[in-house]
Amino acid sequence: MKGVLLKDLYIAKSNILVTAVSLVVLGFGLSFLLETSALLVLAPVVSTTAVFISITSDAASKWNKNVIAMPVSRGQIIGEKFVFYILLAVLGLMTALIPCVLLGFFSGDITPHSLCLYGSIGISATLLAGGISLPCAYLFDPEKSQIVFMLSFMASTGIIAGIVLLTNLFIPVKENILLAFNIALGISAVWFFVSYQVTARIYQRQDIT
């Protein structure tokens, strides 16, 4: 899996660098308008676009045909994309933390609580969206999967709102806002794992030509 992951890093290198720099610049820019830690919601989601660049590149070069003939299982090929997705999300989150932490020294509005809250929302949205868009990238052609990729972020926002509203029926969310979003994070993680299992099963039976 390491070789395939390295291949994806090579493909997405320039995109990763541009995204990282943009996030830092955006972080400092946002500080004049709103709370910088809100960037943590956006950062993991934006960073994962590189996965779809690699999937599109794989399709264009017919890499999947090649790699299946190599000592790599179909499960590993799918597993690598999911791992790559998480890695990019974490990388995005870490990058966005740079302006947040630096600005935190000068302003009081960035607290560990706000960082955890926005970080939790960002990762939840990313995992939910990935759980929708990654299987679709292997089910549909590249054009359709790009549309699904964009729609999945909107869907994930709706799902998170739904989970939080549902949680509110049992726990008062206003008093336990971090707990409510951590529940959403837990559900998103389970969803992402189930999505990986389903995608691996679908891919196992797919004809690659």
Partner 1 sequence: MNNALTVSKLTKTYPDFVLDQVSFSVPSGSIVGLIGENGAGKSTTINAALGLIQKEAGHVSILGSERLDCGVKEEIGVVFDGSNYPEILTPKKLNGVLKRIYRSWDETAYFQLLKQFSLPLDKQIRQFSKGMKMKLAISAAFSHHARLLILDEATSGLDPVIRDDILDMLLDFIQDEDHSILLSSHITSDLEKIADYIVFIHEGHVVFSKPKDELIEQYGIIKCGAAQFDALDKADILAYRKMDCEWQALVADREQMQKKYPKAMVVPASIDEIMLLYVKGEKK
Smallest separation, CB 77 to partner 1 (Å): 11
Find all residues with CB under 8 Å of 3, minimum gap 6, and list them. 72
Query: What whole-number distance in Å separates Cα of residue 130 and Cα of residue 82?
Result: 8
Q: Which residue from 21, 29, 62, 140 is in contact with partner 1, where contact means CB under 8 A?
A: 62
CB 201 → partner 1: shortest distance, Å? Answer: 13
Residue 111 contacts partner 1 per CB under 8 A:
no
Q: Is 205 in the site for partner 1 (CB under 8 A)?
A: yes
Please state, in angstroms and rounded to a whole number, the distance separating the CA atoms of residues 168 and 158.
Answer: 15
Please report whether residue 18 would count as binding partner 1 according to CB under 8 A. no
Q: Which stretch binds partner 1 (CB under 8 A): 5-13, 134-142, 165-173, 193-201?
A: 5-13
Interacting residue with partner 1 among 24, 28, 63, 166 (CB under 8 A): 63
Subset of residues 68 to 97 that bind partner 1, contact rule: CB under 8 A: 68-73
Q: What letter would DSSP give residue 37?
A: G
Count of all residues that appear for the chain in the document: 209
Q: Does 168 bind partner 1 (CB under 8 A)?
A: no
Contact flag: residue 174 with partner 1 (CB under 8 A): no
Nearer to partner 1, 28 or 63 (CB): 63
What is the DSSP code string of 46-89? HHTHHHHHHHHHHHHHTHHHHHHTSS--HHHHHHHHHHHHHHHH
Supply the minimum distance, in Å, between the C-beta of residue 88 and partner 1: 17
Q: Write down the least CB distance from residue 122 to partner 1, Å.
A: 29
Among 166, 196, 179, CA closest to 79: 196
Cα separations (Å) of 71 from 79, 102, 203?
15, 45, 16
Q: 114 is written with which tokens?
A: 């706000």
d(CA 51, CA 53): 5
* Interface contacts to partner 1, rule CB under 8 A: 2-4, 6-7, 10-11, 57-58, 60-63, 65-73, 205, 207-209
